[in-house]
Amino acid sequence: MSQQIRDAEVVFEKVLRHASNLLDCHANVRAGAGRRWKEVSLNSAAVALTVAAWQAYVDACVEAILSTIQPAAGTPEEKHFHLVNASTRTVLKNFSTPNAQKTRELFLNVGFDPRPHWTWTWYGQLWTVLDAEQTINQWLDVRHAVAHGFPIPAHPIVTVNAGGATVRLANARSCVWFFRKLVEVTTLAADRRFP
């Protein structure tokens, strides 16, 4: 595996560690009956950090691909690379919403389409590309709501009841699992494309 692309996965895990720590804190304070409003904040923060880890991973992976595709100085490909590099760095500076479409567009800028690889089977359930894209975008919506103080959207990835949508511990753990799997399949595909 390309060390540079592997390093992007390491960046993801470093940022994700904070989200996992929050979820461990939640799991350790659970006691007795009743609604846990403060723990919901831990769950929401874990989702926000997980999406931040995804964004950091995409940034680092694109940087790694740029390093991999950089031609030797003085070659005919060098001028084209400078255009790709400048264009990609401009997009990276404005990459604040790592939804499925913007993430794919950023990767396409460096000649890599991760979309066909966003599929896997988990406990007998097939995750299609469409499932992955919808789930990325839904978690981005939840992160946006958390970060801006809006109500949590009633997506199927969160718990919805008569009181509205909320991020429970199981939801936050699913978020971590989902993005960890997404990083895994994206890293494997990027490594095959740019060994």
| CA gap 61, 141 in Å, rounded | 23
pLDDT at 167 over 80: yes
Identify the band that residue 137 occupies on the pLDDT scale cut at 50, 70 and 90. very high
**H helices within 70-148, ranges in order?**
77-93, 100-109, 129-148
Of 40, 14, 43, 9, nearest in space to 139 by CA: 43
> In the chain, how many domains are there?
1
| CA gap 40, 19 in Å, rounded | 13
Identify the band that residue 57 occupies on the pLDDT scale cut at 50, 70 and 90. very high
pLDDT average, residue stretch 61-79: 92
CB of 5 within 8 A of CB of 187? yes
Q: What is the pLDDT of residue 33?
A: 64
Q: Write out the two tokens for 70.
A: 């950089």
pLDDT at 67 over 60: yes
Identify the band that residue 27 occupies on the pLDDT scale cut at 50, 70 and 90. confident
Burial class (CB within 10 angstroms; exposed 0-12, middle 13-18, buried 19+) of 73: exposed
The 3-state DSSP class for residue 39 equals: helix
Q: Which residues, including other chains, have CB under 8 Å from residue 40's CB and lie 6 or more apart?
A: 166, 167, 168
Q: What is the pLDDT of residue 36?
A: 61
Phi then psi dihedrals of residue 173, to 5 deg: -65, -40
pLDDT at 152 over 90: yes
Domain of residue 110 covers 3-193
Q: What is the pLDDT of residue 35?
A: 61
